[in-house]
With several copies, the nearest count.
Chain A
Amino acid sequence: MSDASEGVGLDTLGVGDRVELTFPARGDLVVLARLVSSAISARAGFDIEELEDLRLAVGELCLLALQGSDAHHGELRLEFTCTDEALDISCTLVSDGPALDAWSGGAEALQLSEQILAALVDEHGRDDQDGMVRAWLRKRRRGPLA
């Protein structure tokens, strides 16, 4: 099945594979994002510790994107893309309502999410274009981060 490396042995996702999950932009549904994240990481060559890291990181991506939400409108669109060396994940708040202040959650909340992402993934960032808040991360396989 797999190459019997340290991964959890379900590697069935390959380069170029893309998975997308869209759900109402509410905190009570962020659990869906984490669930899919775990299933995908397990199939994209990550070991169990990395899989848990990604589950936490994806939740924080959602929180960063939700900061621009009034919690009652819009959708979160999560995209997973496998490249030859990494898993790229982005979370975009898609809302047709008026764009709120993007970081209404406050500096402290933002800071904790940033600390978590900085520790767990190789690259991450956020941008805010035309009222669409997008947070993203890149996690390399057997990456150099502890």
Chain B
Amino acid sequence: MEQQFQIEERSEGGATIVTVSGEIDVATAPQLQESLHALIAQGRSSLVIDLLAVTFLDSTALGVLVGALKRCREQGGDLQLVMADARIMKIFEITGLITVFPIVDSLAAVGHS
């Protein structure tokens, strides 16, 4: 079976870490968008999105992340991505988004991108 889509969040220091697993696509991206918008609406605009357990993402997922990045920055925060898988990286490379997001390859490296 496919790995189930899941979102978990926790606070760490001044940031909120959002851990996503499974496939982020047109079916699941709306749930991610809702979660991120809710956090940002609470003023939690320093976000770290942990994509290490994400197995697939499509343009819809990218759109949600770009939208959330903009909102975070408008509130003086930022949105960092954590990813290490070559396939996931490739999607950010071919769309040029690799230069748009602060990206690190492990949670330990967060803040140092």
Contact = CB atoms under 8 A, between A and B. Distances in A.
Interface string A95-117: 00000000000001100110110
Nearest to A106: B63
Interface in A62-85: 62-63, 66
B20 to A, nearest CB: 15
A119 B94 contact: yes
Contacts, number: 57
Contacts of B26: 27-28, 30, 59, 62-63, 66
A93 interface: no
B52 interface: no
Given A27-B25, A27-B26, A31-B23, A112 B62 contact: yes
Interface residues of A, number: 27
8 contacts: A12-B27, A28-B26, A29-B27, A30-B25, A30-B26, A59-B58, A112-B95, A116-B94
Interface in B55-78: 56, 58-60, 62-63, 66
A80 to B, nearest CB: 18
Contacts of A34: 56
Interface in A1-55: 8-9, 12, 27-31, 34, 42, 48, 52, 55
B94 A59 contact: no
A27 B28 CA distance: 9
